[in-house]
């Protein structure tokens, strides 16, 4: 009887361990949020932005990428239209992968590659990549490539980001929920403030 109990205890233990091992590929949903940086350096999050001021003097429009999986991994990032000190506007995506342990500590997990797609656009060409401070960075080589993504997001198209990592799950596909009309309008006004009239 003792050996039978031990046998089933081991079976149960192995089952728990198996359930905790992430698969090699997963698909999850994400959400988008928004913030701006004014010319005076002030950061304003979506809830505090005053649209009546028409976002005058905006230097940065940031779409925040928020998602997590069922295996204690957090995938945070942001997609920016940013005015550099020399006046040039660039489009940059930054994203990181962090594992949250049982003590609430965050551990960076290296991203080998990230790929963007929305509607008929993708980061297959016209984008350069590098890793900066544990973040995977994609930068559009021309402003039009970035504006196409930004504009499609304001049209309610779902943004998709595919991440390739060195740790399980090794392939993570994140589909971000479309933004609502209010947030879409806020993004459009910000985009116009940073780069001028894009016809959006």
**Secondary structure of 132-186 in HEC code, one letter for each residue:** ECCEEEEEECCHHHHHHHHHHHHCCCCCEEEEEECCCCCEEEEEECCCCHHHHHH
- Decide if pLDDT at 144 tops 60: yes
- Give domain limits for the chain: 25-195
- In three-state secondary structure terms, 82 is strand
**Residue owning tokens 């940059």:** 92
pLDDT score of 12? 45
CA 66/CA 73 separation, integer angstroms: 12
CA 200/CA 184 separation, integer angstroms: 11
First-to-last alpha carbon distance for the chain, in angstroms, is 74
The pLDDT tens digits of the residues spanning 25-64 come to: 999 999 999 999 988 888 888 877 877 665 778 899 999 9
Cα 58 to its chain centre, rounded Å, is 21
Q: In this structure, which topology does domain 25-195 adopt according to CATH?
A: Immunoglobulin-like (2.60.40)
Q: What is the mean pLDDT of residues 116-134?
A: 94
Q: What is the mean pLDDT of residues 114-142?
A: 95
pTM score = 0.85
Sign of CA dihedral 125, 149, 25, 169: positive
Phi, psi of 147 (to 5 degrees): -65, -35
């Amino acid at each position: 009887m003792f050996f039978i109990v031990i046998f089933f205890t081991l079976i149960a233990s192995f089952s728990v361990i198996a359930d905790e091992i992430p698969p090699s590929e997963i698909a999850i949903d994400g959400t988008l949020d928004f913030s701006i940086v004014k010319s005076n350096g002030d950061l304003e999050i979506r809830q505090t932005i005053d649209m009546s001021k028409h976002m005058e003097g905006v230097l940065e429009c940031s779409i925040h990428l928020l998602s997590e999986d069922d295996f204690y991994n957090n995938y945070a990032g942001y997609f920016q239209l940013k005015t550099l000190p020399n006046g040039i506007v660039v489009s940059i995506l930054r994203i990181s992968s962090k594992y949250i342990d049982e003590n609430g500590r965050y551990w960076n997990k290296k991203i080998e590659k990230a790929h963007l797609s929305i509607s008929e656009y993708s980061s297959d060409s016209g984008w350069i990549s590098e890793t900066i401070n544990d973040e995977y960075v994609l930068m559009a080589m021309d402003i039009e490539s970035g504006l196409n993504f930004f504009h499609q997001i304001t049209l309610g198209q779902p943004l998709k980001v595919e991440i390739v990592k060195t740790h399980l799950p090794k392939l993570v596909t994140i589909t971000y929920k479309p933004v609502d009309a209010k947030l879409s309008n806020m993004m459009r006004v910000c985009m116009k403030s940073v780069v001028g009239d894009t016809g959006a």
